[in-house]
Structure 1
Amino acid sequence: MQRFSFARTATDGKARTGVISTPRGDIRTPAFMPVGTAATVKAMMPASVRETGADILLGNTYHLMLRPTAERIDRLGGLHKFMNWERPILTDSGGFQVMSLAALRKLTERGVTFKSHIDGSKHEITPERSMEIQKLLGSDIVMCFDECPALPADRKTISDSMQLSMRWAARSRDAFGDRPGYALFGIQQGGLEEDLRAQSAAALQDIGFDGYAVGGLAVGEGQAAMFRVLDFAPDQLPQDKPRYLMGVGKPDDIVGAVARGIDMMDCVLPSRSGRTGQAFTRHGVVNIKNARHADDPRPLDAACRCPACRDYSRAYLHHVFRSQEIISSMLMTWHNLTYYQDLMSAMRAAIAQGTFADWQDAFHAAREEGDIPPL
């Protein structure tokens, strides 16, 4: 079986472009992973997600273990078959959702016990159970189980949490075992503290992983603080392994992360915003619910290749959103995911050509222009 591998093909400053190779297909980096929380990217068919340019999806261990359960998905042939997506899937470990969604959670050295946010049933996730669930799902890239404290937090809380996550990382590695063709990523923690991040990176490299995530960001610290961490955190991780920034983000967050050496990102923002009537365009965010669009025959973005822009007017998109028609979520999500994938493609090209700094300037300048003027 083909093994998991990563090859950088070009660098421009700290920005990198390359290819992650897996038995289920290649992932072009920098890569944005649409989020398919419950085995679906909301309002999208899998073939449509692929049409936007996505090479890989993210699935959610916490949600899938609760419903329909990992055991059921395994009996039905695994997550790829279950959701009709034959390309790579990355699953998170469940740790973040346990911290943010579960009621009455209890944290110990062994793991986390919690009550389901769906029906109040009691569950436990340990590093070993997280590895078991992700193996049952059949995900190509598995994340080690970690704890992610909300920021702001005091230094001792962050340090204790990071050290617990490193012990859990070692247990995750042991439980994952040797699975050719599948990858296990470690997760760097340490809040906003450079020395704690360095300790975490060293501990992860001692254990040895196929890729490394920068965790514990995009949890309320703000973009400036996140970028300050990204100025040093990716450099603490191996150059020859993929670097994944979890849960990010807005378009300018993504561009700033790539400029600082990040290879992979995921976020619910493009799909969630689409369902609430927000469209991301080259000229910033468009709120299709606004009355100014009611009589506008022009497309959302004349340069966009998605069906919403190619086949429909702003007036139509405004109407179906205000009428709460299902096609509104479909078209707006398709547009946003296309915008995100085109953003990644443009960055890959600029890095390969050595023009990334100029491309960034043009990206920010276009967004500062704002939306096209009303008719």
Structure 2
Amino acid sequence: MTSASRCRSVAPWRRLAEGAARAAVAGALALGSAAEAGPAPTLGAIVPLSWPSATEGEEIVQGMQLAIKTWPGQPAPTLIVKDSACDPRRADDAARELVAAKVDLVLGSWCVLGQVPKLVADAGLPFVSAHAERLAKPPEGVLQLGRIELYAAERIAAALRGETGLRISARTSCWMDFEPVLRDTYDAVLCPVLGYDKARWEQAQATYTAAYRKPFTHSVARGYAAMEAALAQLRRVRNGQRNSTEPIVTVLGRVPAADTPAPPDAMQLVLSPRLPKLSPREQAVVNQLLQTKGCCAPDGTCAKPGPWADQPFVVRGHAPTCPALSSGVRR
């Protein structure tokens, strides 16, 4: 990242950052009361700082810090960050350390759940999970940003592998960075899709870009959204409304209720443009899959109902009959 070297080049960015920050505060005020009595809260975050990507870990933390800076509540929370390295055991240890440190709330699970939700809930603390997947029956006090039922992706991928003969993975790095990358070892990958709130995204993007002079990435957005949810949940706890059903809205959209099913576009199946030779039966299944999930089959027919219609994924990237996969945020 290159810093501005002249005062006259810094001023416009500063004005933009201040203006965007004021807009962020105004939006946050609409969610609830700004003032909160008592000492400054302490929030514990379990973040994959060292692996698989130190850059993404840093961006998650920066997103959380930005959300704290634009939060209208006073006094501002103190943030304690622990590294999980996407290792369940390290994440569990980090949770125990944060509980021992008597934090007021824990957030994390960007890439690994482990026993963290239970450990935190058993200690009587609220927990916010930023994981793409969600527990079907979370412990009381656990708020989940994820939209996909735990293990649903692997179940779908296994069924598709069995019926199509394709090499399909539901456990690539896209479950951390939401960027589907198709390598030669697979014919397709099943990845989560990052939903978002357009107005809040653009607002946070302007503030972050002005403050850090860097792109507002998926990792930044996930950190920002998790902290938005954590601060809203903290406000509820302090106001005695821990079990409130009032929706929490973040930069990634509304936090789904515990019993909300995954939307039809919660995941995307990204197919290689050059699939291997398949048997007639397997090719028929692939054609039906393309037609059912919104893409066109080679004969030009599209969107026919089929056995995959109710599954929470769409098909992307099967050129030339499917739309190209966007490298940015889903619009």
**Structure with greater proportional helix content:** 1
TM-score (norm 1): 0.27
TM-score (norm 2): 0.29
**Structure with greater proportional strand content:** 1
